[in-house]
Amino acid sequence: MDSGESVANSATSGRATHALLLTFILLATPLAGCTGLASTTPIADITADRTTVNVGETVNFDARGSSTPEPTIIDKYVWDFGEGEKRTTSTGITFHTFAESGNHDVEVEVFNDEGESDRASIGIFVNSPPIVVLDMPGYVRTNETATIDASASYDPEGGGVEYIWDLDLAFDRNGDGDPANDADSTASSVEISSADSGNQTGRLTLIDDNGATTTQTWSLMVVKRMFNVVWEEQHISVEWNGHTEQGESTVNQHIPGEGARIMQVNATLTLARDLLPIHWPEDNFTLRLNVPMTGWTTSAQTAQDNVTLNATARIDRGEMNPWPESGYTVSADSSESLIASLLNEAGARFGQGEWVWTVTADECDPDIPIDGLDPDTGNDWTLTIDYVILIPRVSEVGV
């Protein structure tokens, strides 16, 4: 080989080596990017303080575990909570209150100052609260039992439910100062009855197996009953007998008008004849009446028209109260409350309560002494009292 051919081969070999080196460099450059040796792409990371919550509860999210290669820095986090709400923060922590039940994928997209980003997500299960289904009447009468049935209530996820009933929000049964948190029953249905008309309001709370609660307030209308009123007239008599010595008194007491309206009274005190009735006039007695609740006090003294009659004292009074209408219909919570209102009607309560009758021997005239002694130092007497009363009779109608 001559020197010219040798130079030519050497030049050709040099050009081939340079071409191989250039090809290697071109191939090596993309391979370095694939291995991350020169990448500035961040790596997103997300965690949550809990992954199962009830509707209305809050979850705290943390993406501070995300990273980006130096010299880049993470400058924002874009959050998507899966309920249509998105939020951008400059720090890696945030929170969200879930309003919709079901499974939600919460995603965070992490951006660095080069505009590159990465995404990470976490699943959150939001438990729906139980559903209250009440079956109850529209109204009941006073002292009538109503059933409120919640057994058709359910947990949408298929779990069991617990029942807590507060049957009267106006009454603090447990004495803690809050009338709205009593646990009167834990059954699926309850029975209630009210002696008073009006609206009775209560509350039912359902709790599912995940602790989710639903509270529903209910109101039951309690209506009055209808009664027919008839006043029945009755005559009653009371009689007492006794013996009272000179200067002494005998007291008898009773309640003549209990459960009735007193309309008239006629009382007669009759003295027995003297043992030796040769003296005239006969003994003098006083009959006194006191009705404390009414404030009525009166008295009468015995008198004798002639020697053939016994001495008597009389107390009479009529029209003590107004005569009521009879045979009408009226509404009331109960027959007992209606009777009580009739008997306590303003201006018609005269004569109520205890009546106190006192017989006093004021002066017993001496009889002819026997062996120097008065054989009859007192006297026998009889007190007869006649009353006219009205008794209210009520009967329920429209049942």
pLDDT of residue 215 exceeding 50, the answer is yes
DSSP calls for 16-52: HHHHHHHHHHHHHHHHHHHTTTT----B---EES-SE
Reading the block at residue 89, the tokens are 């923060």
Strand partners, 364: none
Task: Give the pLDDT band of residue 278 (cuts 50, 70, 90).
Answer: low
pLDDT tens column, 49-63: 999 999 999 999 999
Domains of the chain: 47-127 (2.60.40.10), 139-223 (2.60.40.10), 227-397 (2.60.120.380)
Residue partners of 339: CB distance under 8 A and separation at least 6: 259, 392, 394
Sheet strands (E) in 55-92: 58-62, 74-80, 86-89
pLDDT at 23: 39
Q: How many C-beta atoms lie closer than 10 Å to residue 321's C-beta?
A: 19
77, amino acid identity: Y
Higher pLDDT, 168 or 8: 168
Q: In what order do the strands lie in the sheet with 161-166?
A: 139-141, 213-223, 198-208, 161-166
Report the mean per-residue pLDDT for the chain.
87
Phi, psi values for residue 13, rounded to 5°: -65, -40
Q: How many CB atoms lie within 10 A of CB 219?
A: 10
**Position 316 pLDDT exceeds 50:** yes
User: What values do phi and psi take at 14, rounded to 5?
Assistant: -65, -40
Q: CB burial class (10 A; 0-12, 13-18, 19+) of residue 308?
A: exposed
Statement: residue 10 has pLDDT above 50: no
Mean pLDDT along residues 339-351:
95
Mean pLDDT of 229-245: 96
Place of tokens 């139980």: 130
Q: How confident is the model at residue 16 (pLDDT cuts 50, 70, 90)?
A: very low
Output the pTM of the full model. Answer: 0.62
CA distance 318 to 170: 47
Q: Which pLDDT score, from 0 to 100, does residue 101 have?
A: 92
